[in-house]
Structure 1
């Protein structure tokens, strides 16, 4: 009975499980801020340090082979500074994350310890359109969240190449209030400068596209959204 009472009194919580630094800022930063504002405890788990997040052009132009993990980790911690959102970063090898027992065990420990009501993670896809690390992390997090009692909602984030990946959102979060803070958070990722998906016009265009799905008023009002595929919800 004591255990049941403790669960009833527990502050609701949300855990985002992402593969790399900047993934959460791109996909669910506004959503996490919104959850935080309505009283949820929020945590971000980043599986790798993102040290291999260098394009071939960057390698040639700057003559570098990798980015120090500490540098990309610092960018994410700076992006989330003053949000009240806790960040944990694991040390899996960027670009070589595999769906295996090591990955599942590491993520499962965090999920069981934190006991989230909501889990947000990558949308896995098998066509090879999205980053391979995203699919591995997404599958692991879904596997665990589907087995752990207490998870009431699982939200899968939008891939960058939405249509090619076959992503169809069914869960829309209005982040208009937090949009400028999202753009500011993305600006902290100096090591990724020049990538189109970090630019404001990319996120504005996405929001217009999804507002069209919601009707004329969201477009006219310039509302901004982060979108997800909700694969599990439990109303209590």
Structure 2
């Protein structure tokens, strides 16, 4: 079994999301705080979001959305990756899992954030499954043909908030971890604004006319629960073999606030 490390020396975080803009909506404030605390941050999407547009071929949309995601990541000094699975048709299979394991192998994160196992979008749920599986096995020598980086370990694993703070059945998600992102709100909004293609798509398909405001409003709702202006919420995976200490709270609680 891979080793675990409750207090990793490697400060490498990976946000594994389904689509470009998922990280910017769900956890970018936390990623900004990690970058500002000296962590190396990687943002990855399992798909390129090729179904997320009103017009354009799949290749055209994919290129556009990956460019937007790259721009957003660069705003905070993060690195963007895309696994190239089909948007809206994501399945949990050996090929998708191996791509995910190989990504973890390249990055060797000690902290991973992925999507909730119950959410309105099946791509989100499958991404969460891929993140859970890859995070546990990637450090096993035989899990990938890629070289094993020194310090590879089972990372702290967190699931980000569901859309509207709800699971797929409309039940409110009860977070284990809340991160104050009030001071990061403007930078988070700037990251999400890089995804210019999404405003018209979401207006037509989801009935959301201004998703920048929708993101800010949700962060404000979660913030009120924490007693701050804006917050992001997570559920920590504490299954056997995973670090059980809440490293996000330890790193980013008010007493350990960023300088």
Aligned Cα root-mean-square deviation (Å): 2.4
Residue number among 147, 151, 172 corresponding to 2:137 in the alignment: 147
Q: 1:174 maps to what in 2?
A: 180
Per-residue CA distance 1:77-127 (angstroms, 9 max, x = gap) = 1112232211111211111110111111000011122211111000012xx
Equivalences for 1:10-159 in 2 at 5 Å? 11-54=10-53, 58=54, 66=58, 68-125=61-118, 130-148=120-138, 150-159=153-162
Using structure 2 for the length normalisation, give the TM-score. Answer: 0.74
- Partners of 1:26 and 1:198 within 8 A in 2: no
Residue 214 in 1 paired to residue 226 in 2?
A: yes
Question: What count of residue pairs does the alignment treat as equivalent?
Answer: 214
CA distance in structure 2 between the partners assigned to 1:197 and 1:137 by the alignment? 26
User: How far is the alpha carbon of 1:9 from its aligned partner?
Assistant: 9.0
Give the ranges of 4+ consecutive aligned residues of structure 1 lying more than 4 Å apart after TM superposition.
Answer: 64-67
Residue number among 157, 166, 172 corresponding to 1:163 in the alignment: 166
Which residues of structure 2 form unaligned runs of 5+? 140-152, 203-207, 248-259
CA distance in structure 2 between the partners assigned to 1:20 and 1:106 by the alignment? 15
Which residues of structure 1 form unaligned runs of 5+? none
Using structure 1 for the length normalisation, give the TM-score. Answer: 0.81
- Partners of 1:115 and 1:151 within 8 A in 2: no
